[in-house]
Copies of this chain bind each other. A is one copy, B any other.
């Protein structure tokens, strides 16, 4: 469906795409309350109800992982390992290291980064690539316990690719639970599942609501997740076949996924429409703007999860991008490549959250502290400023704590 950008802009709904969480809220509140008070018993009951299986064991055992590895064909294993290596390389590059600089003579200040002790990763059923994306950055950050929850099939088993991927990536323990009940278990702990400090990973609306609710009780989360989406900025030089293929790929994430082309080229719009119309659902939009600047402004306002730039000078457009989860530049950077194997993370903010949140990265698994180290000469140099400002703010004893270090009766 081709529309004019001017028409779209009259419709605030198109931009806002606020997640409607109110419908599932009471259900999720009930699940959380039960897991919190009844632990594993409630976890088993919900797994029976939602996943259709009565679990013998909640935790995946080492021999299940070994069996999954043995049964995996060697070519798939090689590909998972190659993707892991690329993801590891990129995320190592992100990791920040402690530093301490001398900002004035004798005044050293710096930062120290520390991993969380224990985190939870939620992996939707059979998304083994998401297991890599959640666990590898946690491992590189240095997180000690990386707990994975992923829903079981009706046979009580977890997808073997997910097992192998999570294990290769460095997961410490893997549990066969999914949905809001998994999030509640990670947030509060059960007899079997340890309580974590932070929960990451995408999920459906139940999982997202559960993450938002447990955040109020002191468990951090990466960010709320909505349906996956792509926005493509294209001009008259773009290849319509590439754009059509990338838009159609997006639809594989489900009926709520949106694919949007925004272009200043009537011809490109028509050609892409021609290619997708046979398969297009309501999730595909082609929008024509009066100028490339108008298209870029729209992209920034929309803040898409995935943004592809297919124009004559893509780097010029990249410079103007302010809000997106990940930006794919040029004709040979399809989202699918980044979903699996470039090394970048595919767990990204959706639903406009890219204005506020950053995609999953090593930083998500660490906290920072500042380090301040002054020698006597350094403190002496800033003494007058500190004492003066303490007194202006009415902090006499703060001032005294500086002065005592230079008074003859108490210094060492």
Cβ of A336 < 8 Å from any Cβ of B?
yes
* B245 and A388 within 8 A (CB): no
Cβ of A400 < 8 Å from any Cβ of B?
yes
Cβ of A46 < 8 Å from any Cβ of B?
no
Complex: chain B residue closest to A106, CB-CB: B332
* A342 and B395 within 8 A (CB): no
**Chain B residues with CB under 8 A of A80:** 389
Alpha-carbon distance between A94 and B43 when the two chains are bound, in angstroms: 44
Cβ of A265 < 8 Å from any Cβ of B?
no
- A residues touching B (Cβ–Cβ < 8 Å)? 75-76, 79-80, 82-83, 86, 89-90, 93-94, 101, 103-104, 107, 109, 111-112, 114, 116-117, 126-129, 161, 197-198, 212, 215-216, 218, 220, 239, 241-242, 245-246, 248-249, 251-252, 314, 318, 321-345, 354-359, 361, 363, 367-376, 378-379, 382, 384-386, 388-390, 392-402, 404-405, 409-412
Alpha-carbon distance between A248 and B404 when the two chains are bound, in angstroms: 12
Chain B nearest CB, measured from A94 CB (Å): 7
**Chain B residues with CB under 8 A of A412:** 239, 331
* A397 and B340 within 8 A (CB): no
Q: A126-B393, A337-B379, A344-B372 are in contact. List 5 more A-B contacts (CB 8 A).
A: A76-B392, A239-B411, A321-B369, A327-B371, A327-B372
**Chain B residues with CB under 8 A of A368:** 358-359, 361, 363
* A252 and B94 within 8 A (CB): no
* B343 and A388 within 8 A (CB): no
Chain B nearest CB, measured from A238 CB (Å): 9
* B220 and A216 within 8 A (CB): no
* B410 and A114 within 8 A (CB): no
**Chain B residues with CB under 8 A of A385:** 79, 82-83, 340-341
* A342 and B400 within 8 A (CB): no
**Chain B residues with CB under 8 A of A112:** 318, 321, 327
**Chain B residues with CB under 8 A of A212:** 216
Alpha-carbon distance between A389 and B78 when the two chains are bound, in angstroms: 10
Alpha-carbon distance between A109 and B129 when the two chains are bound, in angstroms: 18
* B386 and A337 within 8 A (CB): yes
* A318 and B395 within 8 A (CB): no
Alpha-carbon distance between A320 and B327 when the two chains are bound, in angstroms: 39
* B245 and A404 within 8 A (CB): yes
Complex: chain B residue closest to A402, CB-CB: B336
